[in-house]
Every structure is written in C-alpha cells, then in structure tokens.
Amino acid sequence: MEPGAGDGAPHHDENNAYRRPGTMSAAHAEDAEREADPLRPVLKRLWEERKWHPSAVRAELLRLGYEEERVAQDGERLGGSLTVRELFSRYEDGRYVTDEGALVALRVHDDACVTGVVQEAAYGVRAGGPYPETGCFEPPYGH
C-alpha cells in the first residue's frame, strides 16, 4: 500500500494521477487568473439568461477576441486557445446521458489553463494546470 493511502486502496495515488492537474509556474498562474477575469461575467450572464448550449457560449467568447484552438491529427497544437464543448456524458440507467451545458477551456500557456462550465445547475471559472491525458479539461473518468 502507498504511504498516506490510509485505509484506501493500494496504489490510490498512482491510479488517480490522471485526475491531478499539472503545476503552473507562478507567473503563468497569474496570467491564467488574469485571463479568467473576463470570462466570469460572461458565463454568469449566459447562466442567468439560461444560454448554456456550446454554440451560444462559443459565440459569446469569440466576441471577446479569443480564437478557437486548432489541433492536428497527431495532437500538435496549430493555434488558437479556446475550446468549447458539450458536457461529458455519464452512464445512467443503462444508457449514456449528456446534460445540457458547455465546458470551456482556454489554453493560456503550456502549463496554464482557464476552465469553465455553464449549465442549468451552476456556472464557474477557475485557473489550473493541464491534465496529462485531457489537456485543460478535467477527465471525467480514467482508463
């Protein structure tokens, strides 16, 4: 069993490494917080207006001057910094369900992201490091 796992499963930390974001440098963390500031009021307004479809969220954020991130087939980033997508699906009652809402990711630096969500229940924005397998988006589950 790993040190610090307590009564938990052996290799808990190792098995959940995919859920831990990377570390941001202090300067890049400040940049990410600065980039998060203009997103907060936009996502709040969209939430209040009950506009959380990814296309509506994307359109509003593109008006702020962001460019959609472009990625090659091999994963190489080609430009842009903004990704807006639907929420991750989940398995419920024998089928996959995707709630209404949008996930937002803004790549600020290789080690710094701003992520957001807007859906019926809530909205939020935070700065953090990227995840090993899913970039700026927190992985919904492991492999």
Cα torsion at 90, 93, 94, 96 (round to 10°)? -20
Residue 11 confidence (pLDDT): 55
Tell me: pLDDT of 1 over 90: no
| pLDDT band, residue 122 (cuts 50/70/90) | very high
- As a whole number of angstroms, the distance between CA 125 and CA 17 comes to 22
Average pLDDT over residues 33-60: 96
pLDDT for residue 19: 55
Residue 29 pLDDT class (50, 70, 90 cuts):
very high
Q: How confident is the model at residue 92 (pLDDT cuts 50, 70, 90)?
A: confident
Give yes or no for residue 143 having a pLDDT over 70. Answer: no
* pLDDT for 9: 60
Give me the percent of the chain exceeding a pLDDT of 70: 83
Q: For the chain, how far is it from start to end, CA to CA, in angstroms?
A: 21
State the Cα–Cα distance between residues 23 and 130, nearest whole angstrom: 8
Integer CA distances (angstroms), 78 to 74, 89, 109, in order: 11, 27, 14
**What is the average per-residue pLDDT within 42-49?**
97
Centre a 10 Å sphere on the Cβ of residue 2 and count the other Cβ atoms it contains: 13
Residue 25 CA to residue 27 CA, distance in Å, equals: 5
Q: Which burial class, exposed, middle or buried, applies to 124 when counting CB atoms under 10 A from its CB (0-12, 13-18, 19+)?
A: middle
pLDDT at residue 94 greater than cutoff 70:
yes
